[in-house]
Structure 1
Amino acid sequence: MFNLDERYRGLPATREQILALHTSLNAPHVAIPGKQAGPAQAFVVGLRGGQGTAAVFVYLYLAEAADCAVYLSGRRNVSADEYRDDEGDALAFVESLGFMMDDANWRAMAPEQQDEQLKTLPVFFKDPTLVPAVVARAEEKKNVTTTLGRFLAAF
């Protein structure tokens, strides 16, 4: 069972902490309690904890709202067998929301590719408003508003 946890805004992690990464192939329209409904991307991330434990997170990124929702399993710091069960449950959970998921094969990626994923995927940012596309879109809106204002002021 996965529950929304408002305390999380992102999952900044190191390459070594990441056990698995699954990304959505589509962006269905989702409604999350307390958030603006819209298209979302889903990520299922397995993170290594201390002393051989692990945890599975479901991260839904709402690009239009520059917001996210992070879901956690009821179990934290699980063993390897429990981790596999939680990972399967997480994938079933996001698929029930309409997402088609793909295993990114994190462990098979070259370190350079992993670093690129850490710098570009919204799930690994501390806050969804810091995602480069969101920042660029905000600047673009600001420029359009300024240009429109200048244009209208010319009359």
Structure 2
Amino acid sequence: MFNVDERYRGLPASREQVIALHTSLNSPHLFIPGKPAGPAQAFILGLRGSTGFATFIYLYLAEAAECAVYVSGKRNASFEEYLGEEAEALAFVESMGFMMDNSNWRSMAQATQEELLHTLPVFFRDPRQVPAVQKRVEEKRNAAATLGRFLAAF
């Protein structure tokens, strides 16, 4: 069973900690309680810790720069338990309308893994730190400044 944990805003991890990454191929419109509704991306992340494995579901609402992180009740799972939780996580997000793709993290080139760690929203401490979000904020700020200068000319 997966439940939202408000303490999490992101899942920064090292390349070695990641054992699996599933990403959504589509962006269905979702309403997550306490968050604005909008198109969402889903990520299922399997992480290896010092005492076991954990599965996380990360839903990213790009338009609002918000996220919801779902965690399993079992954090220090054995590998066999982890595989069961991964299957449960896939079924959970697919029930919301996501079509998921296994990125085959372990077979990726190290450079590709590093690039994903620096670009995917799931790996940032806060969804507002995602480069695409920061770029949109800057564009809005520039547009507002331009409009302000235009109106001040009258």
Give 1:123's aligned amino acid.
Answer: V
Cα separation, 2, equivalents of 1:80 and 1:103? 18
Aligned identity (percent) is 69
Provide the secondary structure at the position in 2 that maps to 1:15.
coil
State the Cα deviation string for residues 86-139 of structure 1 (Å, max 9, x = none): 000000000001100000010010000000000000000011010000100000
Structure 2, gaps ≥5 residues long: none
Provide the secondary structure at the position in 2 that maps to 1:92.
helix
Moved over 4 A (4+): none
Report the RMSD for the aligned CA atoms in angstroms: 0.6
1:143 aligns with 2:145: no
Instruction: Look up the match of 2:118.
Output: 119
Instruction: Look up the match of 2:8.
Output: 8
Cα separation, 1, equivalents of 2:79 and 2:114? 25
1:1-155 aligned within 5 A: 1-51=1-51, 53-155=52-154
Cα separation, 2, equivalents of 1:104 and 1:63? 21
Cα separation, 1, equivalents of 2:69 and 2:95? 16
Cα separation, 1, equivalents of 2:105 and 2:145? 43
Provide the secondary structure at the position in 2 that maps to 1:140.
helix
Give 1:66's aligned amino acid.
Answer: A
State the Cα deviation string for residues 32-81 of structure 1 (Å, max 9, x = none): 01111110100000000113x10000000011111100001121110011
Provide the secondary structure at the position in 1 that maps to 2:16.
helix
Count how many residue pairs are aligned between Structure 1 and Structure 2: 154
Cα separation, 2, equivalents of 1:150 and 1:80? 60
Give 2:47's aligned amino acid.
Answer: L
Cα separation, 2, equivalents of 1:119 and 1:75? 27
Report the TM-score when normalising by structure 2: 0.98
Structure 1, gaps ≥5 residues long: none
